[in-house]
Amino acid sequence: MKLSKNHILPDNNAPIIDIKNLYKSFGKDNHVLKGLSFFVKKGENLVVLGKSGSGKSIAIKCLVGLMQADKGTINVFGKDITKLDETGLNEIRLRIGFLFQNGALYDSMSVRENLSFPLLRHSSSLNPIEVDKAVIDILTSVGLTEAIDKMPSELSGGMKKRVGLARTLILKPEILLYDEPTTGLDTITSREISQLILSIQQKYKTTSIIITHDMACAKQTSDRIVILKDGIVNAEGTYDALENSNDEWVRSFFI
Amino acid sequence: MVIYLKSIFTDAGNLILFTTRFFREIVKPPFETHEFIKQCYVIGYKSFPLVAVTGFIMGLVLTLQSRPTLSKFGAESWLPGMVALSLIREIAPVITALICAGKVSSGIGAELGSMKVTEQIDAMEVSAINPFKYLVVTRILASTLMIPILVVFADAIGILGGYVGFNIHSDVNMVRYNAQVFESLDFIDIFPATIKTFFFGFSIGLIGCYKGFTASNGTESVGKAANSAVVLASLTIFIIDMLAVQITDLFF
């Protein structure tokens, strides 16, 4: 079944993520983010586009506290995460899922162990049978129940992404961050992953930021797109609006 | 030259901060008991065959090499005691620690380094799991506790190797050989030598974890992490040994 984007919430819906004037530099001369500002509303799928090195991945790493921003605010669920201590940050992190580019599955653990690992640490009240059931349920929702006892080295690129997504979803996050979810996959698998992103969003009512270079994925999944250039947002709008933009540089992404 | 010195001091400073973090994290719950036991198995149990072979050869070779000299002085009967003393006080702790620096420290460096470059450590962090506690604290603790056990094991196997070596040219039974060994040993031969092995174990775990955990992105850094872990851990073992001998000399 092909899913469509019919989930945009009303405009008066308050932003669940609000990034303002974010700066991040590496060394003296490498300024990656130069006052980045954007927001994401609850239930929205925001696609972030931009050339390599424009600061897309750095921005979402700052969003989950993997990197410290030099300046600026990152409000998530109404809290500025740049000012939170480790405990406060971990509380927010439990509500955010992060899908890494290559899945980032733990090599030494099977798929079952990869999925139960975060669950056992954060849901100590669950008994082993309940943990196993949760693992099977979440693997069913990404269509990979047969891989439950496989090791990550036995999985294909697309399967790794699905398992990575399942591991992210098992903690029932409200926000999902996708770092290039279709990179390195063939066209068919890319389309399946894009469909999966949409189906997950509709099933779990998540808010998503999707960083991608894959325009088919952007078209399929986006409610709104922001395009970064030199560490700031250069263009913003829906896929159709940006595709027909007057700015030649913006249009060049859609060719 | 200035840049090289700066990088050495930066590295030393970062290692001190890393060590401080270890002592801070070790007392904070939750405790990763299951992973700690697993690491004890990996670091300790899986190193037993390697340490056994090395220990046996150490004892055998030391006996065979020392025999001609002692025979010249008619002091062949001192051989078991001398071999046991040499093994327990110096050779078994240092050689076992060096073997473990090669096996354990490089293994930890490569494992954590590859986890770092493939974003597995980041994945743990964004799942609100403390990767330092799960990966670093458990490995350093396991290494600190397992290396002394391996050294005691190497001592025993080394003495057995000495017995075999002694019997190539002589005919002494096990009971008499052991009696000679224990006659020559004193408390101060065993105690300081065992205490220093905890420091060897700690440095092996610490350096392996530090090099792996701080590996920069890129697959090349995994090899560098493993390699520099072995080099630095081996060097540290010699420095600790030198300090331990000096301190022992002061007090005993």
pLDDT confidence bin for A96, thresholds 50/70/90: very high
What is the reported pLDDT for A233?
Answer: 87
Confidence of residue A5 (pLDDT cuts 50, 70, 90): low
Give the mean model confidence (pLDDT) for residues B160-178. Answer: 88
At B39, is the pLDDT very low, low, confident or very high (cuts 50, 70, 90)?
A: very high
Provide the pLDDT confidence category of residue A201 given band limits of 50, 70 and 90.
confident
Inform me whether the pLDDT recorded for B87 exceeds 50.
yes
Residue of A nearest to B120 (CA): A104
The reported pLDDT for the residue numbered B189 is 83
Tell me what pLDDT residue B126 has. 92
SS3 of A156-180: CHHHHHHHHHHHHHCCCCCEEEEEC
CA–CA distances in Å: residue A64 to residues A73, A134, B124, B232: 13, 25, 12, 34
The residue behind tokens 């992105």 is B217
Pick from A66, A174, A178, A179 the residue to mutate for testing the B interface (most B CBs within 10 Å): A66
Residue-wise pLDDT tens digits, B199-242? 999 999 999 999 999 988 778 889 999 999 999 999 999 999 99
User: Could you tell me whether strands A15-26 and A30-41 are parallel, antiparallel, or unpaired per DSSP bridges?
Assistant: antiparallel
3-class secondary-structure state, position A96? strand
Per-window interface: B 61-100 vs A, CB < 8 A: none
Q: Do B128 and A105 touch (CB under 8 A)?
A: no
Mean pLDDT value across residues B57-74: 89
Cβ density class A230-255: b for 16+ within 10 Å, e for less: ebbbbbebebeebbebeeeebeebbe
pLDDT > 60? residue A7: no
Which residues make Cβ contacts (< 8 Å) with residue A186, sequence separation at least 6?
A158
Q: Partners of B118 in the beta sheet? A: none
Query: Is B120 in Cβ contact with A107 (below 8 Å)?
Result: yes
DSSP sequence for B162-211: HHHHHHHHS---HHHHHHHHHHH--HHHHHHHHHHHHHHHHHHHHHHHHH
> Among residues A75, A62, A74, which one has the least CA distance to residue A26?
A62
Examine the pLDDT at A6 and tell me if it is beyond 80: no
What is the pLDDT confidence band of residue B146, given thresholds at 50, 70 and 90? very high
Q: For residue A40, list its beta bridge partners.
A: A17
| Residues of A with Cβ-Cβ distance to B135 under 8 angstroms | none
Alpha carbon distance A112, A154 (integer Å): 13
Q: What is the pLDDT of residue A249?
A: 86
Q: State the pLDDT confidence band at B190, using cuts at 50, 70 and 90.
A: confident
Nearest to B97 by CA among B171, B40, B47, B133: B47
Identity of the residue numbered A219: K
Q: Which two tokens stand for residue A140?
A: 């069913």
| 3-state secondary structure (DSSP) of residue B127 | coil
Cβ atoms of A105 and A114 closer than 8 Å: yes
Angle formed at CA A208 by CA A207 and CA A211, multiple of 5 degrees: 170
Averaged pLDDT, A65-76: 91
Q: Is the pLDDT of residue B156 over 90?
A: yes
| DSSP 8-state assignment for residue A186 | -
Q: Which residue of chain A comes nearest to B126, CA vs CA? A: A93
The least confident of A228-237, B44-53, B86-95 is: A228-237
pLDDT at A253: 84
Residue A182 or B205, more confident: B205
Q: Mean pLDDT throughout B138-142?
A: 96
Question: Do residues A193 and A201 touch, judged by C-beta distance below 8 A?
Answer: no
Query: Residue B86: what pLDDT?
Result: 92
% chain A with pLDDT above 70: 95
State residue B35's pLDDT score. 92
Question: What average pLDDT is seen over chain B?
Answer: 91
Distance of alpha carbon A246 from alpha carbon A254, whole angstroms: 13
Q: Which residue of A has its CA nearest to B125?
A: A66
Q: Give the gap in angstroms from C-alpha B49 to the nearest C-alpha of chain A.
A: 23
Residue pairs between chains A and B whose CB atoms are closer than 8 Å: 53
Taking CB atoms and an 8 Å limit, are A104 and B129 in contact across chains? no
CB contact under 8 A, B115 and A117: no
Q: Do B123 and A104 touch (CB under 8 A)?
A: yes
What's residue A9's pLDDT?
Answer: 47
Q: Could you tell me the maximum CA-CA distance found in chain B, to the nearest angstrom?
A: 70
Cβ separation of B127 and A171 shorter than 8 Å? yes
Q: How far is A233 from chain B (nearest CA, A)?
A: 25
Instruction: Please write the tens of the pLDDT for every residue from A115-160.
Output: 999 888 887 788 888 888 999 988 888 888 888 999 999 998 888 9
Burial class (CB in 10 A: 0-12, 13-18, 19+), B21: middle
Contacts of B242 (CB under 8 A, 6+ apart): none
- Of the residues B42, B114, B125, B127, the best mutation for testing chain A's interface (the one with the most A CB atoms within 10 Å of its CB) is B127
The separation between CA B169 and the C-alpha centre of its own chain, rounded to angstroms, equals 33
Nearest 5°: the CA angle A145, A147, A149 is 110
Helix/strand/coil for A250 = helix
Question: What does the pLDDT read at residue A1?
Answer: 44
Peptide linkage before A15 cis (omega within 30 of 0): no
Joined together, the tokens standing for residue B223 give 């090899």
Residues 6 or more apart whose CB falls under 8 angstroms from that of A163 comprise A103, A105, A111, A114, A115, A139, A142, A144, A147, A152, A155
Q: Note whether B119 contacts A101, CB cutoff 8 Å.
A: yes
List for chain A the helix, strand, coil content (%; round to 5).
40, 25, 35
d(CA A13, CA A42): 7
Q: Tell me which of B97 and B29 has the higher pLDDT.
A: B97
C-beta separation of A203 from A141 below 8 A: yes
**CB distance B86 to B184 below 8 Å:** no
- The mean pLDDT of A15-27, rounded to a whole number, is 90
- Grade residue B72 by pLDDT with cuts at 50, 70 and 90: confident
Q: Is B57 exposed, middle or buried (CB count within 10 Å of its CB: 0-12, 13-18, 19+)?
A: middle
